[in-house]
Structure 1
């Protein structure tokens, strides 16, 4: 089987022959259908943090994240653009961090205007943290690289946003993933743009990203 394109984070998986899509589910939805026969990530989105008490969130995580179908935890994280207090979000996020450490599964992070908070909460952790839909500027990217974050680049790159293009140019290929999230963009277009910014062919980029997937998530897809 040829090496596929990897879409590390999508909410609307549509089967494509040469693309592997890692679907992101809300944990409460996964719990209603836990017998899926393909790998997913699942977590309590910060937009939903107010729906659960810490005890309810902890119990739901404990019931589900050990399931081998869940290969990554999230998306989870922090968001300053919503009404839920950051204190409530942090408490739920911390539970995900603990679960990820316990089960040895990577975290898929949603972060909106909370970079310093996320940096603070990462201290002392050992599992990979992947920043999904990353759009940070050069200075933020440099800070995050020092703390070994991984970066998932989405459709915003195709808008030719200067700050994101500058960031992609300095992120090592070993720290990169690509995603479609909830957009209708073709993952191959994002690959082509990232390859262009890194002066490499899309085929070479595919090989590198497939290696990143195996390193972080294990053998969840064959090639």
Structure 2
């Protein structure tokens, strides 16, 4: 089959010539990585007031490296104990960094779609909402804004709400990922094709095209 499988967001990078992987890094920005493609950001769950300025400075320096394709995951999370105002400040800084470097954003959004979308009005770089597992009423504004949505292992055992959302996302705005699961991305592609009732090759080629539009190098 022509085309390459893409894992747009993972914490379990693999070495496989058939799969292009973007490893997500949440810290260790001053350490070398063996990955050829990386996204890097300050996750709202782990930011701390006393280290945030220094952590952001490290991220800024690291993010300019050519292997860093995107800023994130970053965003807003209403289920974490992290102070809300600090989350907003860190998110705002990272949006500005993505704009400065002209690199796309990978968004972590938990029960904060309206707030994330409000912040993102200030950006012109491509945006990917990762780990989508929400009902369509929450996700539709993301689709209408022209942003990309990435689905993961929840597609392997979807409930009715996730299935409705997945089928509503245009292929031109779709990505797939493994996130924090050791699942083979090819299994997610295979299932995604079955759920959309289209050939797997069609998804492979479309997501490869999406990648070329988002991650311009």
Structure 2 length normalisation: TM-score?
0.93
Distance in 2 between residues matched to 1:82 and 1:163, nearest whole Å? 24
The CA deviation at 1:56 is 2.2
Q: Which residue of 2 aligns with 1:4?
A: 4
Q: 2:208 aligns with which of 192, 210, 218?
A: 210
Q: 2:101 aligns with which of 73, 97, 103?
A: 103
Q: Which residue of 1 aligns with 2:32?
A: 33
Alpha-carbon distance change, 56 to 166 in structure 1, aligned in 2, over 3 angstroms = same
The CA deviation at 1:126 is 0.6
Alignment of 1:13-52 (within 5 A): 13-26=13-26, 28-33=27-32, 36=34, 38-50=36-48, 52=50
Q: Give the number of equivalent residue pairs.
A: 217
Alignment of 1:1-223 (within 5 A): 2-26=2-26, 28-33=27-32, 36=34, 38-50=36-48, 52-218=50-216
Alpha-carbon distance change, 83 to 22 in structure 1, aligned in 2, over 3 angstroms = same
Q: Aligned with 2:48: secondary structure?
A: helix
**CA RMSD of the aligned region, Å?**
1.7
My pick for the range that moved more, 175-184 or 193-202, is 193-202
Alpha-carbon distance change, 136 to 153 in structure 1, aligned in 2, over 3 angstroms = same
Q: Deviations over 1:74-131 (max 9, x none)?
A: 1111111111111111101111000001111001111111111101111131111111
Q: Deviations over 1:132-152 (max 9, x none)?
A: 111121111211111112101
Q: Aligned with 1:192: secondary structure?
A: helix
The CA deviation at 1:37 is 5.9
Q: Aligned with 2:179: secondary structure?
A: coil
Following TM superposition, the consecutive aligned residue runs of length 4 or more in structure 1 with deviations greater than 6 angstroms are: none
Alpha-carbon distance change, 162 to 22 in structure 1, aligned in 2, over 3 angstroms = same
The CA deviation at 1:175 is 0.4
Distance in 1 between residues matched to 2:23 and 2:143, nearest whole Å? 26
Distance in 2 between residues matched to 1:161 and 1:203, nearest whole Å? 25
Distance in 2 between residues matched to 1:117 and 1:53, nearest whole Å? 24
For structure 1, the residue ranges without an aligned partner over 5 or more in a row are none
| Contact 2:40/2:59, CA 8 A, preserved across alignment | no
Q: Aligned with 1:200: secondary structure?
A: coil
| Contact 1:57/1:92, CA 8 A, preserved across alignment | no
The CA deviation at 1:23 is 0.7
